[in-house]
Amino acid sequence: MPYPEIRPRRLRRTAALRRLVSETRLDPAELVVPMFVKEGLTEPRAIGSLPGVLQHSRDSLRKAAAEAVQAGVGGIMLFGVPTTRDERGSGGIDPDGILNVAIRDVVAEVGDDTVVMSDLCLDEFTSHGHCGLLTPDGAVDNDATLAAYAEMAVAQAAAGVAMVGPSGMMDGQVGVVRRALDAAGHTDVAVLAYAVKYASAFFGPFRDAVESALDGDRRTYQQDPANLRESLREVELDVAEGADLVMVKPALPYLDVVSAVRAAVDVPVAAYQVSGEYATVEAAAANGWIDREQVMMETLTSIRRAGAQIILTYWAVEAARLLRQRYCWLLYTSDAADAKAR
């Protein structure tokens, strides 16, 4: 056999070489941690299908937000879990509703040390569990829902949020939210558009986390998992309506979509590593079938490699701490080597 003159393995021989030529790097500042706060709790409560994730009380949420900032995460995405719901999801608009109160709490705790974001959707607040208002025959009313989103956006901005995340997949939601924010004087509040959100089976544990009342599915407004070109159209529309960032959700089953969206737009692209992705890894690791830490970092790296500049993940704080520990270790070993050489 001819002698191999080209040997790519030369650059894989040591950890230092692999680190030197690494094409994709994770940074804590690119990670966003979703957090849930439940009205009326005095102590945080575990979520059975999301090991390690909590429904927070207001006090524990403030503490968790401070810990996330200390870990170096780039943002916190807040979700509210009310004690009562109605058909119109009025708790999401109420200035004293749990989500708006939580925004004020977290902003008071961490200020501008991280980006405080909030989910802008009615599903956590409606008695039927859908992301919008319903017509008498039970269909989701797109345009009536837009009016509710506009009110919700202004309420969240008044509470102090830096970025709203309209996630209901209503046609025109970004434009309506942008105009409502601007008309109310909140021109600096950014819009993270859930531009590509599939009707996915990976959302199951999230629905446990928010105690969703949904009976049925959301296939009439969330996207068909078979479609890619439709996603690019959704993204184009959201950017035209004023989205500051766009997001793909879920992440891992749709890395091709993340890559295509990244190639199509100039605004920052985010991806949401959703509850089912997280829970699948946690369950396999609990059974000893995989190396949890390595799989965690491998999945995050794959999302980053696909083109997502920002990653929403339930591992954000843990991953940020691990990345900072590795960086500090590299500085330590480099300093030690320099001292030895001297």
Partners of residue 271 on adjacent β-strands: 248, 311
Token reading at 266: 């100039």
Q: How far is Cα 114 from Cα 2, in angstroms, rounded to an integer?
A: 57
275 marked ligand binding residue: yes
218 marked ligand binding residue: yes
DSSP string, 82-95: -S--BTT-GGGT-T
Catalytic residue from among 38, 63, 249, 340 = 249
278 marked ligand binding residue: no
Rg value, the chain, Cα: 21
Q: How many CB atoms neighbour CB 216 within 10 A? A: 10
Q: Is 151:93 a contact under the CB 8 Å cutoff?
A: yes
- 311-342 burial, b at 16+ Cβ within 10 Å, e below that, comes to bbbbbbbbbbbbbeeeeeeeeeeeeeeeeeee
Is 63 an annotated catalytic residue? no
Q: Are strands 54-56 and 45-46 parallel, antiparallel or unpaired?
A: antiparallel
Q: Is 235:264 a contact under the CB 8 Å cutoff?
A: yes
Q: How far is Cα 270 from Cα 268, in angstroms, rounded to an integer?
A: 7
Phi, psi of 82 (to 5 degrees): -80, 165
326 marked ligand binding residue: no
Q: How far is Cα 200 from Cα 250, in angstroms, rounded to an integer?
A: 7
Q: Is 81:210 a contact under the CB 8 Å cutoff?
A: yes
Catalytic residue from among 38, 63, 197, 340 = 197
Partners of residue 79 on adjacent β-strands: 36
Token reading at 338: 């320099």
224 by DSSP, 3-state: which? Answer: coil
Is 249 an annotated catalytic residue? yes
337 by DSSP, 3-state: which? Answer: helix
Catalytic residues: 197, 249
Binding site feature residues for Mg(2+): 234
Binding site feature residues for 5-aminolevulinate: 207, 218, 275, 314
Binding site feature residues: 207, 218, 234, 275, 314
